[in-house]
Amino acid sequence: MVNVKNFEQLPTKEKILRVSADIIVNEGLRKFTARNVAERLGITDAAIFKHFKSMDDIIFEIIERYVSRCSRSADEAEKTEKSVKERLYQILRTHINVLEETKGAVPVLCFEFLRSDDKKFYRILKEFIESYKRKVGDLIREGQSEGVIKKGIDPEGTAMLFIGLIQAKVFAYLLDGKKGKIVDDPEQFISEIFYGILEKDDRDEEVEVKSR
């Protein structure tokens, strides 16, 4: 159920956030009600409002948390001295790690809130994806000018393709009853993407960066 690890010892505010995320991801927004959250924690619904101003406030904090985690990891990769290919690898790899740790929460949250007309949520998520697209896109462009990435491909389009492929993986995972990992074999997954974009003479070369 919830990402357990001394869950009981956590402060209530924290528990509310985790249970809420779990409900939204695994049961949908319609089940995300004060009553349902409180019930899981063995408290009353009124107690929720001692910790959060409103239900939307909870959502806001969940999005903030998950999204910032993904962004941070992409920023770190950007700063290193490594080669384009290694940096790209690192971004993809961390992205998959976060995805796995959060059980697909971010794609699900994106899917839910990108649709709402609630500008508050829409903006922050859209911004997140745009910045991701920009970072990966820039990296691809850099790779193209260095000659390691195929000239023909569209940088932003490829960044979006990657997001789309992750989305597809999450979909398959949900369909399969949320068993096991979302991306079975990350190395294979990444190498398939690389196969499509790297210049041919590079494609059989192993990527030597270690995961994490």
Q: CB count, 10 Å around CB of 84?
A: 18
User: How many residues of this chain bind its own copies (CB under 8 A)?
Assistant: 30
Structure tokens at 41: 């924690």
Return the amino acid letter for 60.
Answer: F
Q: CB-wise, 32 or 132, nearer to DNA?
A: 32
In the 3-class helix/strand/coil scheme, how is the chain assigned residue by residue? CCCCCCHHHCCHHHHHHHHHHHHHHHHCHHHCCHHHHHHHHCCCHHHHHHHCCCHHHHHHHHHHHHHHHHHHHHHHHHHCCCCHHHHHHHHHHHHHHHHHHCCCHHHHHHHHHCCCCCHHHHHHHHHHHHHHHHHHHHHHHHHHHHCCECCCCCHHHHHHHHHHHHHHHHHHHHHCCCCCCCCCCHHHHHHHHHHHHECHHHCCCCCCCCCC
Q: How far is the CB of 10 from DNA (least distance, A)?
A: 10
- Which residues lie near DNA (CB under 7 A)? 11-12, 32-36, 38, 42-47, 49-51, 53-56
Q: CB-wise, 29 or 153, nearer to DNA?
A: 29
By a kind-dependent CB cut-off of 5 to 8 A, residue 145 interacts, out of DNA, its own copies, none, with none
Structure tokens at 87: 């940096």
Q: How far is the CB of 111 from its own copies (least distance, A)?
A: 6
Q: CB-wise, 45 or 205, nearer to DNA?
A: 45
Q: How far is the CB of 198 from DNA (least distance, A)?
A: 47
Lay out the site mask for its own copies across 121-150 (x = CB under 8 A, - = otherwise).
Answer: -----x--x---------------------
By a kind-dependent CB cut-off of 5 to 8 A, residue 47 interacts, out of DNA, its own copies, none, with DNA
Residues 150-189 touching its own copies, rule: CB under 8 A, are 160-161, 163-165, 167-169, 171-172, 174-175
Lay out the site mask for its own copies across 78-117 (x = CB under 8 A, - = otherwise).
Answer: ------------------------------x-xxxxxxxx
Q: CB-wise, 59 or 84, nearer to its own copies?
A: 59
Q: How far is the CB of 177 from its own copies (least distance, A)?
A: 9
